[in-house]
Amino acid sequence: MKAVALTRYLPISDPESLMDVELPSLVATGRDLLVRVHAIAVNPVDTKVRKPKDKTETTPKVLGWDAAGEVVETGPYCTLFKPGDKVFYAGDITRSGCNAEYQLIDERIVGHKPESLSYEQAAALPLTSITAFEALFERLSISLDRTMNLGKSILIIGGAGGVGSIAIQLAKQLAGLTVIATASRPETLQWVKQLGAQHVINHKHDLVPQMREIGIPQPDYIFCCNDTDGYFSVMAELIKPQGKICSIVETAQAVDLNLLKNKSATFTWELMFTRSMFQTTDMEEQHHILDRIAKLVDEGVLKTTLNETISPINATNLRKAHAQLEAGGTIGKIVLSGWA
């Protein structure tokens, strides 16, 4: 089967940083599905895993953690899907990724593709949707009962990125929160407003006076999708007493949790790979989350965050997509589709 893979960790400008390869056919066992991949999306995690380092793989390593496709075979213990089902999923970072014609994936972290979306539109959603859903409703413990959230607000730092774009929609449409998103360019400001943010502030300027200016000096929740190091102290200053902060961006240095003590505020991490990485007993929750996301999309409550499609799926185009992500400023998601 065709795939895009690496054997060395090189700068994306190097033609060998991602290469077209042929890999052996796969067979589904256990609770695995064998999926024919029709479309894939790229995420910051792809570029982080691929970043240059002194390491060589003995066999080609396939990246990619966002896909939509069709089930062609099920393992003997599968109960959630059958051949022919159209699916979407993010995957498991400890296993081979989706940048291949076929992929083995545990059915417990797979959802039924939204019927109203194309494969390309669906591929843009899984990783960001799971991340945003888990962050808001599990890590931050925001109620799914809108009546419990009356008068409450959330600040989303980095609103125009993939995760922020879904978080805005979930916070506004599902939870009924007042959403404040950060953006710094005219095009990103317009994007987050279209997604439902009631207020937009500029993350390149001091957030504290901007929050006072819009009349929400202390949000109940803060979701950080960009530069935890740079924003930790201001998040600690802004958060409401007994409020909660969640981040998806690892720190490069120690952060001072004592800044949160007097407010009895909570800081928590979200990593959507945790369940599959540690094979947690509630791993199947991600199947249910994706099915819920698909239903919300088909009902018109949520919309895809696809912003650019590149075709076909090959090393040249995937290197282009990685380079765009590394350059920064990406709005929404970049998707690749079809195998030449």
Residues 44, 148, single domain; the answer is: no
- CATH number of domain containing 331: 3.90.180.10
Q: Strand 19-22: give its sheet, edge to edge.
A: 19-22, 2-9, 53-62
DSSP class per residue in 223-252: EE-S-HHHHHHHHHHHSPTT-EEEE-S--S
- CATH number of domain containing 196: 3.40.50.720
* Domain boundaries, position 75: 2-125+276-337
β-pairing, 32-41 with 333-337?
Answer: antiparallel
- Diameter over CA atoms, the chain: 59
Please say if the pLDDT value at position 157 is more than 80. yes
Helix (H) or strand (E) holding 71: strand 67-74
Helix (H) or strand (E) holding 164: helix 162-169
Residues 137, 242, single domain; the answer is: yes
Residues 289, 232, single domain; the answer is: no
End position of a domain, from candidates 269, 290, 314: 269
Please say if the pLDDT value at position 103 is more than 80. yes
Residues 79, 116, single domain; the answer is: yes
Residues 143, 188, single domain; the answer is: yes
Angle between helices 162-169 and 186-195 (to 10 degrees): 40
> Could you tell me which of 276, 307, 298 has the C-alpha nearest to residue 90?
276
Query: What does pTM read for this prediction?
Result: 0.95
Per-residue pLDDT band for 111 (boundaries 50, 70, 90) equals very high
pLDDT at 340: 84
Residues 140, 255, single domain; the answer is: yes
End position of a domain, from candidates 219, 253, 269: 269
pLDDT at 10: 96
DSSP class per residue in 268-316: EE--TTHHHHTT-TTTTHHHHHHHHHHHHHHTTSS---EEEEE-S-SHH
β-pairing, 178-182 with 199-201?
Answer: parallel
Please say if the pLDDT value at position 331 is more than 90. no
Residues 295, 249, single domain; the answer is: no
- Over its C-alpha atoms, the chain yields an Rg (Å, rounded) of 20
User: Average pLDDT in the 303-318 region?
Assistant: 95
233 vs 228: CA distance, rounded Å: 9
**Each residue of 169-193: pLDDT tens digit?**
999 999 999 999 999 999 999 999 9
Count of structural domains, the chain: 2
Please say if the pLDDT value at position 123 is more than 80. yes
**Each residue of 12-62: pLDDT tens digit?**
999 999 999 999 999 999 999 999 999 999 999 999 999 999 999 999 999
Residues 254, 210, single domain; the answer is: yes
218 vs 153: CA distance, rounded Å: 9
Residues 255, 299, single domain; the answer is: no
End position of a domain, from candidates 252, 269, 286: 269
- Kindly report the average pLDDT of the chain as a whole number: 96
Q: Is 31 helix (H, G, I), strand (E, B) or coil?
A: coil
Residues 170, 44, single domain; the answer is: no
Q: Is 54 helix (H, G, I), strand (E, B) or coil?
A: strand
Residues 211, 258, single domain; the answer is: yes
**Each residue of 240-284: pLDDT tens digit?**
999 999 999 999 999 999 999 999 999 999 999 999 999 999 999
189 vs 200: CA distance, rounded Å: 7
pLDDT at 328: 83
Q: Taking the alpha carbons of 182, 188, 193, 196 in that order, is the dihedral positive or negative?
A: negative
Residues 64, 166, single domain; the answer is: no
Indicate the residue type of 263: K
User: Average pLDDT in the 146-162 region?
Assistant: 95
- What the block records as the tokens of 267 is 């800081």
